[in-house]
């Protein structure tokens, strides 16, 4: 019986495939060799942050259910510690939190140890604390704008 790829096997191959496709692009763009090596990882993160940010903009701004962005002070209207977070916003927090928990795992067990790995662990830990505070006070959207620019810039640095 021939071997059939499952979705999990294909998902495991995605980062490797991305690496194989983006390295030639890095050389064509005349990037430094160290940046060519970082290009696939930064592109993958840029793709992730872009998708999550667009989803967040859709839910918080474009869907019309919330007016947090158009009227920022409305975030405090009727606020109390007992107010529950809507499920669509809860899922955004769950996805982001799981991403940073995985980021800590990846730095420790999957990625090559780099000179900034300890800083990345501190960053992921602090980000989880900030996510917790953001969840508590219902402020999320603007927190992730910087990641889009950071990952885009780091591909060419």
Percent of the chain scoring above 90 in pLDDT: 20
Residue 69: how many CB atoms within 10 A of its CB?
14
Q: What is the mean pLDDT of residues 118-135?
A: 89
Helix, strand, coil % in the chain, rounded to nearest 5: 75, 0, 25
Q: Do 3 and 56 reside in the same domain of the chain?
A: yes
Q: Do 92 and 129 reside in the same domain of the chain?
A: yes
Q: Do 78 and 151 reside in the same domain of the chain?
A: yes
pTM: 0.66
Q: pLDDT tens, 10-34?
A: 555 566 777 777 778 888 888 888 7
Q: Do 21 and 93 reside in the same domain of the chain?
A: no
Whether the Cβ atoms of residue 79 and residue 138 lie closer than 8 Å to each other: yes
Q: Do 8 and 72 reside in the same domain of the chain?
A: yes
Task: Please give the residue that has the higher pLDDT: either 112 or 89.
Answer: 89
Collect contacts of 113-122 with beta carbons under 8 A, ≥24 apart.
none
Q: Do 56 and 15 reside in the same domain of the chain?
A: yes
Range of the domain at 120: 84-137
Q: pLDDT tens, 134-148?
A: 887 666 545 555 565
DSSP per-residue string spanning 75-116: GGTT--TTPPPPHHHHHHHHHHHHHHHHHHHIIIIISPP-TT
């Amino acid at each position: 019986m021939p071997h059939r790829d499952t979705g999990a096997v294909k998902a495991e191959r995605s980062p490797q495939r991305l690496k194989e496709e983006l390295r030639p692009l890095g050389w064509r763009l005349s990037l430094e060799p160290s940046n060519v090596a970082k290009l696939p990882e930064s592109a993958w993160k840029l793709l992730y942050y872009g998708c999550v940010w667009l989803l967040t903009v859709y839910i918080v701004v474009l869907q019309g259910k919330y007016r947090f962005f158009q009227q920022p002070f409305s975030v405090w209207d009727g606020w109390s510690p007992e107010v529950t977070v809507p499920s669509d916003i809860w899922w955004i927090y769950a996805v982001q939190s799981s991403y940073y928990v995985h980021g800590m795992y990846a730095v420790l067990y999957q990625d090559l140890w780099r000179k900034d790995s300890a800083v990345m662990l501190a960053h992921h830990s602090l980000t989880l604390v900030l996510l917790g505070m953001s969840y508590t006070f219902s402020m999320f959207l603007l927190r992730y704008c910087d990641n889009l620019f950071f990952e885009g810039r780091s591909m060419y640095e």
